[in-house]
Structure 1
């Protein structure tokens, strides 16, 4: 398998596991507190890797890559907060298929700003990804009910906002890593540290004791460090319109885990929605 595609698949598995862990083990913490603690631990794990692999002369690329890195940090910070709000307001297996239609936003951004061309098969993929949102909302009754539910759902609204913001971050990763030539390791450290800086004031306001869950936070930190690394590798090797659809198949990982371990309702319907989203984003990637 192509290294970029392999990195994308691995990133999907790691991020899917992390998002499930957020709902299962960290629901009593605020989004900002989770980011500050988990990312601090992730930096501690990842800093030796970066120090050993990035040559000193590459540090100069932070100047050219800085603006792109800033866009990614802000977009990802807001997207994560929106996603946490979404899973607080609704079931994980409902929110995940909606929040992971990121590629449906990535391609329009690339078309408008980077000159990408949308082929008919990719249009079909966008349609299927959109259909997945409908299916995730369908619980029987009128065919218009899912649309009404989504329009009036706080969880769905935050999930869609999260998807749009992550799309901005994904395109930013592609530009920063490929066009601006920022080393992946520096991008990872910049994202981790930048999100800590942005969300620290909110975390300080909502701070609660985390010592009792220290082992869980340590595992989460290692998971995030690994996921960010392979995500950066993926976006450095393939276009965003390829990496983003594959990485966002993490939705199906989340749905399967939530259905098996959290016993959430409408599991089969939402699993079908996740499968549609996977097919849709796969077509987008063609």
Structure 2
């Protein structure tokens, strides 16, 4: 389990940087169009990885049936919904506010996995989930009061969108775990199929809102496409080896990475509090590995 946890931690850093870049460099682009472009470049970047394990990919593809197709479509649909909701929330609010709320995904993953999949966690692992989730709360803490983040979530449109996105992400995370572990879909097959299915779902919206794009802008899309391919590969490996209730809280500490980047590079407020949250996140990850 330890190597997979290391992979999940690396995925958190990759996705945290990705969130920062979305806010910093891609805010002006239509959301569906942006995701489609990222996924197209990501698939191109990922094709060499597919070729390396061509035999295993072919074997997994031959066994692909209706259950595999169903879980692929369901996971892609819930992830697309989660991403669009998150991008809307990110466009309307600050990174340091929206991201921590969105990344309470493990709060929803744990009961889903326990109730539907019979997952059993040790007491220390449950404590690790609680600590990692509390780290997200601390990152979003407001000095006006202990329950201020909850009040914000109840009355703020960005917070509401971020919370609904978190629920969709949680359902998608459990679906990903079922696909990779219970149905044993090969990781190198899953990634391009997942990107491709999401692209098809997003394409009608993307075509309807195409922005003007200069040649000078293309390299940054190519670069982020590589980042997305790498992040999805790490995420897929994590969910292929770990229960969703463990992989999800580790990967969703990306909220802390995004908040710290926002504090350092964008000069956002409450930076010391965000560092405390980062420490709590590390403690939570350590408990999950025991």
Q: Is the 8 A contact 2:88 2:158 kept in 1?
A: yes
RMSD over aligned Cα, in angstroms?
A: 2.3
- Aligned: 1:193 with 2:196: yes
Residues 280/207 of structure 1: CA separation in 2 closer, same or farther (3 Å cut):
same
Structure 1 residue 138 displacement after superposition? 3.8
Distance 2:2 2:127 in 1: 25
- Aligned: 1:250 with 2:260: no
Structure 1 residue 141 displacement after superposition? 3.1
Distance 1:71 1:44 in 2: 24
Q: How many residue pairs were aligned? A: 286
- Aligned: 1:217 with 2:221: yes
Distance 1:6 1:138 in 2: 28
Q: Is the 8 A contact 1:97 1:277 kept in 2?
A: no
Q: How does 1:66-145 map to 2 (within 5 A)?
A: 66-117=69-120, 120-121=123-124, 124-125=127-128, 127-128=130-131, 131-132=134-135, 134-145=137-148
Distance 1:54 1:241 in 2: 30
Distance 1:252 1:85 in 2: 20
Distance 1:118 1:158 in 2: 30
Segments of 5+ residues of structure 1 without an aligned counterpart are: none
CA deviations 1:21-61 (Å, max 9, x no partner) are: 11111000122111111101111111232133132232123
Structure 1 residue 250 displacement after superposition? 1.2
Q: Is the 8 A contact 1:111 1:117 kept in 2?
A: yes
Segments of 5+ residues of structure 2 without an aligned counterpart are: none
Q: Secondary structure at the match of 1:175?
A: helix
Structure 1 residue 134 displacement after superposition? 4.9
Which residue does the alignment assign to 1:266? 270
Distance 1:274 1:158 in 2: 24
Q: Secondary structure at the match of 2:211?
A: coil
- Aligned: 1:60 with 2:62: yes
TM-score when normalising by structure 2: 0.89
Residues 152/126 of structure 1: CA separation in 2 closer, same or farther (3 Å cut):
farther
Structure 1 residue 186 displacement after superposition? 1.3
Q: Is the 8 A contact 1:75 1:166 kept in 2?
A: yes
Structure 1 residue 124 displacement after superposition? 4.6
CA deviations 1:231-283 (Å, max 9, x no partner) are: 11111122212211211111111111111111112333344445545555665
TM-score when normalising by structure 1: 0.90
